[in-house]
Structure 1
């Protein structure tokens, strides 16, 4: 299980789904820990799906996600992630995900905070 101060993994009933709750302000250390965790998952699975639930999210610190592991996991996700659901994403991120869904080989969708059940159905799993 991956847990940092702002990113907590949610146990699910599907071993190929990686679900996370994101709260507060994400730090570079949080992003690096999640990237290392997902790179390990990419090493052991042909394909995975991901679900991110943003709750009381306050953004990320400047430079978070620019370390090598984070960059590497983003590139690997293009071939390793089947479905990618984001619940309650900030407006700018939601627009970017919706736009990128049209050009990347990942089935990516955004959901409002009130549509969490629909997001779980989309990725084919439930919290354990």
Structure 2
């Protein structure tokens, strides 16, 4: 079970797809918990898709993504994440996600709603 106050995993109903709902101000503890969950998924699957759904997101504390597990997950994501999809990302963040998708070997997309993001992920060839 993931222990995080501001990031909650959810079942997307899609194979090898990690879904997370993000609300409030994300802390280093939250990011570490999410990273641990993602690293576990990397152990089970060659490739995964990720869906981050932002709901009442209030930013993140300074250094939130600088834990050992978070850095490991970010690095491993370059090889293990096929699609990195966001829904309801704060202004500017969605554009940043798609820009990063052009620079690194990850299919990065941002959608205004969770429904649109899920439809996109469902349209991809299923992962195992």
The alignment's TM-score, normalised by the length of structure 2, stands at 0.89
Where in structure 2 are the equivalents of 1:52-63 lying within 5 Å?
52-63=52-63
Does 2:97 correspond to 1:97?
yes
The alpha carbon displacement at 1:35 in A equals: 0.6
What is the root-mean-square deviation of aligned Cα atoms in Å?
A: 1.4
Where in structure 2 are the equivalents of 1:4-15 lying within 5 Å?
4-15=4-15
For the residues of structure 2 that align with 1:123 and 1:40, how far apart are their CA atoms?
21
Gaps of 5+ in 1: none
How many pairs are equivalent? Answer: 123
Does 2:102 correspond to 1:80?
no
| Paired position in structure 2 for 1:117 | 115
| Paired position in structure 1 for 2:30 | 30
Runs of 4+ residues over 2 Å off in structure 1: none
SS in 2 for 1:102: helix
| Paired position in structure 2 for 1:41 | 41
More relative contact order in 1 or in 2 (CA 8 Å, sep 6+)? 1
Gaps of 5+ in 2: 124-128
For the residues of structure 2 that align with 1:117 and 1:99, how far apart are their CA atoms?
22
Judge conservation of contact 1:50–1:123 (CA < 8 Å) in 2.
no
The alignment's TM-score, normalised by the length of structure 1, stands at 0.89
SS in 2 for 1:54: strand
The alpha carbon displacement at 1:92 in A equals: 3.0
**CA-to-partner distance for each residue in 1:76-128, whole Å, 9 max, x for gaps?**
0111111111011122322211111112111110111xx32110011118xxx
The alpha carbon displacement at 1:12 in A equals: 2.4
